[in-house]
């Protein structure tokens, strides 16, 4: 009984760590969190994604209910997910695009990624990402389908992050990703299992397999590019990986759930 209670406390703590790491919501533990604890809690990232998707779908539902068409409602929903995550992954996408696109040497690419200023590559990557996600949500239109799309996209895009961290070495010894360490095989497997389950419930088995295959391809391509150019992954690379996955799932959802309602 005591062991089960301790396991439950660990699960709750991991969930709180995952939420506090990936969002700005005030649900974090009352004590300081070490890097090893963040890695241990990485299995909870898909659950955190469900929470982010729930926020976005609630905003969309309210906007739609008060008479806004799908275009403005989709923009508000997208904005809410950016706000609730503190633009964490958007920042990673922009920095990764600037570094990989703008630097000529490995050292220069890593230096650019650490620069808080945004460059042309980063601005273009953000613009493309936001437009693709907005247009997918606007095309889906129906609130229930938008909710499914947001829940699936945010959960599945984060489900592969622990595995990505486990198999792709850190590019620098002193970065956030290096300090966090490698997730355990068990934690990575749980995150993948949760992501696959959520996709299956939302898309059905056939389309879920397609979505998983696409996410795996994105992971392989991102890993290969990162290893070739900077020798491994960083927090920015992980953010870019999440954004690519989120966008891919929303586009799949748009192809399945799209509506003829006006924007």
Mutual orientation of helices 88-102 and 235-257 as an angle, nearest 10°?
110
Q: What confidence score (pLDDT) does residue 258 get?
A: 77
State the SS3 of the chain: CHHHHHHHHHHHHHHHHHHHHHCCCCCCCCCCCCHHHHHHHHHHHHHHHHHHHHHHHHHHHHHHHCCCCHHHHHHHHHHHHHHHCCCHHHHHHHHHHHHHHHCCCHHHHHHHHHCCCCCHHHHHHHHHHHHHHHHHHHHHCCHHHHHHHHHHHHHHHHHCHHHHHHHCCECCCCCHHHHHCCCCHHHHHHHHHHHHHHHHHHHCHHHHHHHHHHHHHHHHHHHHHHHHHHCCECHHHHHHHHHHHHHHHHHHHHHHHCCCCCC
Q: What confidence score (pLDDT) does residue 13 get?
A: 79
pLDDT tens-digit series, residues 63-91: 999 999 999 999 999 999 999 999 999 99
Per-residue pLDDT band at 170 (split at 50, 70, 90): very high
Statement: residue 198 has pLDDT above 90: yes
Q: What confidence score (pLDDT) does residue 39 get?
A: 79
Task: Give me the mean pLDDT over the 152-177 stretch.
Answer: 88
Its pTM stands at 0.91
């Amino acid at each position: 009984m005591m062991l089960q209670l301790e396991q439950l406390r660990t699960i709750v703590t991991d969930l709180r760590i995952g939420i506090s790491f990936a969002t700005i919501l005030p649900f974090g533990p009352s004590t300081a969190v070490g890097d090893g604890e963040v890695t241990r809690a990485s299995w909870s990232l898909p659950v955190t994604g469900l929470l982010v998707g729930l926020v976005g779908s609630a905003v969309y539902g309210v906007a739609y209910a008060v008479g806004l068409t799908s275009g403005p409602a989709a923009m508000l929903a997208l904005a809410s997910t950016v706000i609730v995550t503190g633009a964490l992954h958007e920042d990673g996408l922009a920095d990764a695009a600037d570094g990989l696109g703008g630097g000529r040497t490995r050292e220069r690419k890593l230096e650019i990624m650490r620069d808080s200023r945004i460059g042309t590559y980063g601005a273009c990557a953000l613009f493309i990402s936001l437009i693709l996600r907005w247009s997918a949500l606007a095309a889906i239109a129906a609130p229930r389908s938008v909710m499914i799309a947001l829940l699936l996209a945010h959960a599945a895009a984060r489900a592969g992050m622990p595995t990505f961290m486990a198999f792709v070495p850190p590019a620098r010894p002193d970065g956030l990703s290096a300090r966090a360490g490698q997730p355990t095989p068990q934690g990575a497997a749980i995150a993948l299992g949760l992501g696959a389950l959520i996709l299956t419930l939302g898309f059905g088995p056939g389309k879920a397999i397609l979505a998983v295959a696409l996410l795996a391809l994105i992971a392989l391509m991102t890993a290969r590019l990162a290893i070739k150019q900077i020798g491994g992954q960083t927090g920015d690379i992980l953010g870019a990986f999440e954004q690519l996955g989120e966008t891919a799932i929303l586009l799949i959802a748009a192809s399945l759930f799209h509506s003829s309602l006006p924007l």
